[in-house]
Chains A and B, each alone.
Chain A
Amino acid sequence: MARSATVAVPEDASTATGAGRRTQRRSEQLAGMAFVAPAVIVIVGLGIFPAAWATLLALQKWNGFSEPRFVGADNFERMSRDTDLVAAAWHTLLYTGLFMPVSVVGGLLLAAALNRRIRFMGLYRTAIFVPYVASAAVTGLLANFVFNPEVGVVNNVFRVLGLPQQGWLEDPSQAMVVLVIMSLWGQLGFVTVIYLAALQDVDTACLEAAEVDGASASQRFRHITVPQVAPATAFVVIWQTIQCIQLFDLVYTTTRGGPIGATTTLVYYLWEQAFRQLSFGYGSAIAWVLFVVTMVMTLVLVAIQRRRGGEQPA
């Protein structure tokens, strides 16, 4: 891009005389601005500016072609009456409620299990971490295959075990469960890596003292390890909650919101409103509420973590 040309400015560095020092400071000014300008233009131009515009759009009615019309709080009022939106919120909540506990508890237990030196450990870790690179499109196709009612391995295992065949992604009451399972497949490795790093900082002297005092392995884990990795837990909970609220990709590559709307999540609904119905104003209003809800939840979780951390003896 043309911008990179501006970077070559700071070629004149001077000697350390009095006047030279001033030019040096001047040149540092110029160099600093030139160094950060390209990245700042891209990131702020595509981050702050559209966010401000979205605020304006949320107060307008606009289909992208005609003149936008200022409607005040109409979009927000419409949201309160929109039963499809409420349904989408429930679907998102269901997904979050199923995903979060397994993700956090499973990730911690998996990290604890992987935190030892036995044979094949490298292999185990690789197998659990590698789904990290699978995109939603890849994961979605795998979900469609593995949970396919006819050729899928899950139903075939069920048949061997004498269990009834299931519809999975084609069944409104099961589709969300399949999405949760596939998300866990992709993301448990990430949580595990975070916890594995945190487990390295757990005080071994404390664990050994507790063992000498006769604490069982599960007591040591619950009363020493779990409290000591609390900062990691806070991060994982916040990070994964945000991911849950924003679920879109996997829905797009598997069910497209179906069957009969059972997997229409908030962001999927928002996308439909904006880019299928061309309700740019209404879509922006939904996006704003989602953003605010996410921020508030993050702040609450951070506050809880701070208070908990404060109560503990250092």
Chain B
Amino acid sequence: MIATTTENDSAEHPAVPTAEADRPAQSEARRRRLPFSPWHLLLAPIAVLFAFPFVQMIMVSFMPSRDINRLPPRFIPTTVTLDGYRGLLERSDVLIWLTNTVIVSTVAVGSNVVLCSLAGYGFARLRFRGRNVSFLAILGTIMIPIQLLMIPTYVMFARLHLLNSLAALIVPWLATAFGVFLMRQFFLSVPRELEEAGLLDGASRLRILWHIVLPLARPSLMTLAVFTLVGSWNDLIWPVIAISDSNLFTLQIGLANFQGVRRTEWSLLMAGNVVAVLPLLVGFLVAQKHFLATMSSTGLKG
């Protein structure tokens, strides 16, 4: 029973397959007084509640301010205006924030994919001195929370004259313990036989990794990329600590500070919010299964 339902549903949500609800057909028929499943009565309002803030955010970003400041405020704009976005461009450094964020996230994703693949493969396949110790050290860092690290890291970066630079934002995201662990788990699941032919032909480990193993790792690499993208794009506490120069603000700190300055200019603020969340929102809608895989593989850490 489970097999058939999982199959049908996996087209939509391969990461989280569904099992048919636990009741046979007769009781289903008995309950069928409504022309639709009663579950809609529960789920539809909840879904609306969850979607509401995003929908309103988009509405308000296109709204003239008179629509917001009347009583009761309008939900759908009377006229669609780009004033919010225009004001955002004129009165904030949103383009600078966006550029900084894109640079940091791009480097973070690229570097994580490369370094975590290499390290994951090394830990899974190669025997060398210090392997267990260094892997345990990496696992150990997962348990250490950011608040214990932030003061010494701040001092360290200050001594290296790295505060207030894009490097300060990038370096902590070059490689992540989660990524190394994720990739190692994947490489352990690849049959060794696949690599043996290559080894006999005298191919280097790097070539084997690149040509034979990595092409198989695409789902894990996507999960790693999504994790790194969301994490580096949304990071707040470290940028708040390491950056005070407004030319180096990311979207997150830029927006958080801007909010204090333009308290009631809602269409402006919501336009900023749209810019900050839209790339991830679109990414989620397009690559939902990879996002869901990332969410559930966070459990690997535990």
Interface residues in chain A, defined as those with a beta carbon under 8 Å from any beta carbon in chain B = 1, 4, 7-8, 10-16, 28-36, 38-40, 42-44, 46-51, 53-54, 57, 64, 110, 113-138, 140-142, 144-146, 151, 153, 156, 159-160, 185, 188-190, 193-194, 196-197, 199-200, 202, 204, 207-208, 211, 217, 220, 235, 238-239, 242, 246, 248-249, 252-253, 267, 270-271, 274-275, 280, 283-284, 287-288, 290-291, 294-295
Q: Does B140 contact A (CB under 8 A)?
A: yes
Knowing A185-B50, A280-B155 touch, does A133 contact B118 (C-beta < 8 A)? no
- Mark contacts of B97-129 with chain A using CB atoms, 8 A cut-off: 1 yes-contact digit, 0 otherwise: 000000000000000001110110111001111
B205 and A31 contacting across the interface, CB-CB below 8 Å = yes
A280 and B151 contacting across the interface, CB-CB below 8 Å = yes
A35 and B126 contacting across the interface, CB-CB below 8 Å = yes
With most chain B CB atoms within 10 A of its CB, the pick from A36, A48, A294 is: A36
A246 and B69 contacting across the interface, CB-CB below 8 Å = no
Neighbouring B residues of A188 by C-beta, 8 Å: 50
B256 and A252 contacting across the interface, CB-CB below 8 Å = yes
Other than the given A153-B56, A287-B147, 19 more pairs (CB < 8 A) read A15-B202, A28-B127, A29-B128, A35-B205, A36-B134, A38-B115, A38-B175, A42-B115, A43-B177, A43-B180, A46-B171, A47-B144, A118-B40, A128-B50, A129-B284, A137-B276, A189-B50, A246-B146, A249-B236
* 8 Å CB contact of A115 from B21, B56, B266, B280: B21
Knowing A135-B233, A235-B302 touch, does A220 contact B281 (C-beta < 8 A)? no
Q: Does B219 contact A (CB under 8 A)?
A: no
Distance in Å: Cβ of B239 to nearest Cβ of chain A:
10
Neighbouring A residues of B129 by C-beta, 8 Å: 29, 33
B259 and A38 contacting across the interface, CB-CB below 8 Å = no
Give the distance in Å from the alpha carbon of A248 to the alpha carbon of B121 in the complex: 35
A287 and B151 contacting across the interface, CB-CB below 8 Å = yes
Knowing A1-B174, A13-B204, A235-B302 touch, does A135 contact B122 (C-beta < 8 A)? no
Nearest to B70 among chain A residues (CB) is A151
Neighbouring A residues of B15 by C-beta, 8 Å: 193
* 8 Å CB contact of A44 from B18, B60, B141: B141
Neighbouring A residues of B255 by C-beta, 8 Å: 137-138, 141
Q: Does B237 contact A (CB under 8 A)?
A: yes
B43 and A32 contacting across the interface, CB-CB below 8 Å = no
Give the distance in Å from the alpha carbon of A287 to the alpha carbon of B151 in the complex: 9
Give the distance in Å from the alpha carbon of A192 to the alpha carbon of B78 in the complex: 37
Knowing A7-B118, A141-B259 touch, does A159 contact B174 (C-beta < 8 A)? no
Neighbouring A residues of B233 by C-beta, 8 Å: 135
B18 and A116 contacting across the interface, CB-CB below 8 Å = yes
Interface residues of B in 240-283 (CB under 8 A from A): 240-241, 251-253, 255-256, 259, 266, 269-270, 272-273, 276-277, 280-281, 283
Give the distance in Å from the alpha carbon of A136 to the alpha carbon of B255 in the complex: 10
A54 and B128 contacting across the interface, CB-CB below 8 Å = no
Neighbouring A residues of B266 by C-beta, 8 Å: 145, 151
Neighbouring B residues of A11 by C-beta, 8 Å: 204, 206
A51 and B148 contacting across the interface, CB-CB below 8 Å = yes
Q: Does B230 contact A (CB under 8 A)?
A: yes
- Mark contacts of B1-35 with chain A using CB atoms, 8 A cut-off: 1 yes-contact digit, 0 otherwise: 11001101100110111111111100000000000
Give the distance in Å from the alpha carbon of A142 to the alpha carbon of B256 in the complex: 12
Q: Does B82 contact A (CB under 8 A)?
A: no
B236 and A220 contacting across the interface, CB-CB below 8 Å = no
* 8 Å CB contact of B19 from A8, A130, A144, A204: A204
Nearest to B277 among chain A residues (CB) is A138
* 8 Å CB contact of A50 from B12, B156, B202: B156
Knowing A42-B171, A194-B299, A270-B147 touch, does A47 contact B47 (C-beta < 8 A)? no
* 8 Å CB contact of B47 from A16, A128, A185, A284: A128
Give the distance in Å from the alpha carbon of A141 to the alpha carbon of B69 in the complex: 17
Give the distance in Å from the alpha carbon of A4 to the alpha carbon of B50 in the complex: 44
B8 and A117 contacting across the interface, CB-CB below 8 Å = yes
B259 and A144 contacting across the interface, CB-CB below 8 Å = yes
Knowing A13-B204, A35-B119, A253-B236 touch, does A142 contact B53 (C-beta < 8 A)? yes
* 8 Å CB contact of A133 from B127, B134, B230: B230
Q: Would you give 28 A-B contacts (Cβ < 8 Å), ordered by A? A: A11-B204, A33-B122, A36-B122, A36-B131, A48-B140, A48-B144, A50-B156, A114-B43, A117-B20, A118-B40, A119-B36, A119-B37, A121-B12, A122-B13, A137-B259, A138-B273, A140-B256, A142-B273, A144-B259, A145-B270, A151-B266, A153-B73, A189-B50, A200-B19, A202-B19, A204-B1, A208-B24, A275-B241
Nearest to B266 among chain A residues (CB) is A145
B72 and A117 contacting across the interface, CB-CB below 8 Å = no
Give the distance in Å from the alpha carbon of A159 to the alpha carbon of B137 in the complex: 56
Distance in Å: Cβ of B261 to nearest Cβ of chain A:
13
